[in-house]
Amino acid sequence: MGACWGKILWIDLDTSTSQVEEISSHVYRQYLGGYGLGVKILLDNQPARIDPLGPDNILAFVPGLLSGTRTFFSGRYMVVGKSPLTGGWGDANSGGSLSPEIKACGCDGIFVRGCSQKPVYIHVTETTVEIKSAEHLWGLDTFETEDKLVAELGPGIKVATIGPGGENLALIAGIFNEKGRTAARSGLGAVMGAKKLKAIAIRGKKKVPVADPALLTRANKAIALPLQFNLHQVEKVIGDAAKTWVLPPLLRRRIDFKPTVKMVVSSLKEHGTGAATAISVESGDAPVRNWKGVGMVDFPWKYSSKISDKSTEPYVTKKYRCANCPLGCGALVSVNNGKYATKETHRPEYETAAVFGSNILNDNYEAIIKANDLCNRFGLDTISTGSVIAFAMECYERGIITAEDTGGIPLVWGNADSVIKLIEDIAYRQGLGELLADGVARASKILGHGSQEYAIH
């Protein structure tokens, strides 16, 4: 069978040992890779009712089934485990180029159980598995950790790491690779922190087997066809199509006119997922004012358009794409001057722009870039972080959280400076950050005073 190796790697941090388990081909046929393989292995091996932050929780890094082959859009990996945030199934996924590297080590997933007594990182190649001390990395942010490991292990090493958020067991912490590609959701960064696992560092050289290379090439061509268009071509297609209405119906029928798909594809290529932030706010899809607001009323176009599509262009320094992606929706951005100055960093995704934009009534895109960058460095999920801050703002407005609780920071709608400060406090569990670090549901339970009514989770 192509695309997989038929084996997974187990690492036990209690005993500092590793072993390989053979997986039969029918498991792949039934469950594929990624989440499917992850859930099958966890179901077979993980007892019920375990503590998600205890040694029995299995944390797994599982590439999609076709990752490591040339298949387009196959460059993502999944992280799975029991979520400490919800107490249920936890999963998150991330792009970049780490996923094919796991496959190039000759395994279809890395499954970690146990808890180390001291900080460690796992170094995997196609021939070796090492559990090494991470005492020198503990306390560093995700960017610093990646830089250190690349310096230590050599260029080409791929790193997935936690930041201070995960180390401090913030239940809204994620796992980060390539300084901003993020397996953000479910609080799995806290699971890594509880295991004292600072990072995994991967470098493989094995070529993933492909059963039918010619078929794969044909499939890739078919996938790539609708991606050939850029926005200007699409605009021309629309213009030309308009003209066709004056053409005889017989001729019109010969024109293949499917602008919607092409528009979506080309917008994604040009502006990333943030292409539709303003439209989402207007249409009621994006959260506004802690989910209570109405886009057209509370955050109308004159504001939402400042954090969406074309308004983000001046900050773009470079385009970015995950491994084997023919579309490339990513970009790097920077803010050169002012109080939100930020060195080159990943462009905020739509969800990030929404939670740090419309959901807190902030129309300053530079502040959103800064908030995104800080979350990436401190290792926090931007969606959960923005959401819990919006919740705190509503509680502040209603007098449930006071200036005394915030250390004098006015937590008013649109105050981006307070957001920047709170992100750090959440990562280090200091001040109000201690309350917010475990997400909206827990914060509202502790706060009481009717705050549950404003807790959207």
Pairing verdict, β 59-63 and 110-113: antiparallel
- How distant, in Å, are the alpha carbons of 236, 237, 251, 352 from that of 254? 18, 14, 5, 42
Of 11 and 325, the one with the shorter C-beta distance to ligand SF4 is 325
Residue 63 interacts with ligand SF4 (CB under 6 A)?
Answer: no
Q: Which of 38, 68, 95, 114 binds ligand SF4 (CB under 6 A)?
A: 95
Whose Cβ is closer to ligand SF4: residue 318's or residue 398's?
Answer: 318
Minimum CB separation from ligand SF4 for residue 279, in Å? 19
Q: How far is the CB of 269 from ligand SF4 (least distance, A)?
A: 9
Nearest-approach distance from CB 76 to ligand SF4, in angstroms = 6
CA 64 to chain centre: 15
Residue 109 C-beta: closest distance to ligand SF4, Å? 19
Q: Which of 375, 408, 454 is nearest to 185 (CA)?
A: 375
Q: How far apart are CA 397 and CA 454, in angstroms?
A: 11
Question: Which C-beta is closer to ligand SF4: that of 197 or that of 323?
Answer: 323
Q: Given phi > 0 = left and psi -120 to 50 = alpha, else beta, which region is 247?
A: beta
Nearer to ligand SF4, 185 or 442 (CB): 185
Give least dist CB 267 to ligand SF4, A. Answer: 12
Judged by beta carbon, residue 59 or residue 329, the one nearer ligand SF4 is 329
Q: In angstroms, rounded to a whole number, what is the distance separating the alpha carbons of residues 317 and 171?
A: 33
**If DSSP codes are grouped into helix, strand and coil, which group holds residue 172?**
coil
Q: CB of residue 273 vs ligand SF4: minimum separation in angstroms?
A: 8
Q: Collect all residues with Cβ–Cβ distance below 8 Å to 75 and sequence separation of at least 6.
A: 67, 95, 96, 97, 99, 100, 322, 323, 324, 325
SS3 399: coil
By beta-carbon proximity to ligand SF4, the closer residue of 94 and 364 is 94
Candidates 39, 55, 73, 296; binder of ligand SF4 (CB under 6 A) is: 73
Count residues binding ligand SF4 (CB under 6 A): 10
Contacts of residue 108, Cβ cutoff 8 Å, sequence gap at least 6: 4, 5, 6, 7, 8, 23, 28, 33, 37, 62, 63
**Using the rule CB under 6 A, is 348 a contact of ligand SF4?**
no
Using CB under 6 A as the binding rule, the residues of this chain from 306 to 335 that contact ligand SF4 are 321-322, 325, 327-330
Give yes or no for a contact between 299 and 372, defined as CB atoms under 8 angstroms apart. Answer: no
* Phi then psi dihedrals of residue 456, to 5 deg: -100, 115
Among 75, 109, 119, 163, indicate the residue that binds ligand SF4 (CB under 6 A). Answer: 75
Q: 129-133 and 181-183: which strand pairing?
A: unpaired
Rounded to a whole number of angstroms, the minimum distance from the CB of residue 75 to ligand SF4 is: 6
Q: To the nearest whole angstrom, how small is the minimum distance from the Cβ of residue 72 to ligand SF4? A: 9
Residue whose CB is less far from ligand SF4, 268 or 419: 268
Cβ-based nearer residue to ligand SF4, 264 or 441:
264
Rounded least distance, CB 90 to ligand SF4, Å: 21
> What 8-state DSSP symbol labels residue 139?
T
- The span from the first CA to the last CA of the chain, in angstroms, equals 42
Does 65 help bind ligand SF4 (rule: CB under 6 A)?
no
According to the binding rule CB under 6 A, does residue 68 interact with ligand SF4?
A: no
- Shortest spacing between CB 315 and ligand SF4, in angstroms: 18
- DSSP secondary structure, 51-106, as one string: -TTSTT--EEEEE-TTTTSS-TT---EEEEEE-TTTSSEEEEEE-TTHHHHHHTTT
Q: At 11, list the tokens.
A: 């690492």
Chain residues that interact with ligand SF4, rule: CB under 6 A = 73, 75, 95, 321-322, 325, 327-330
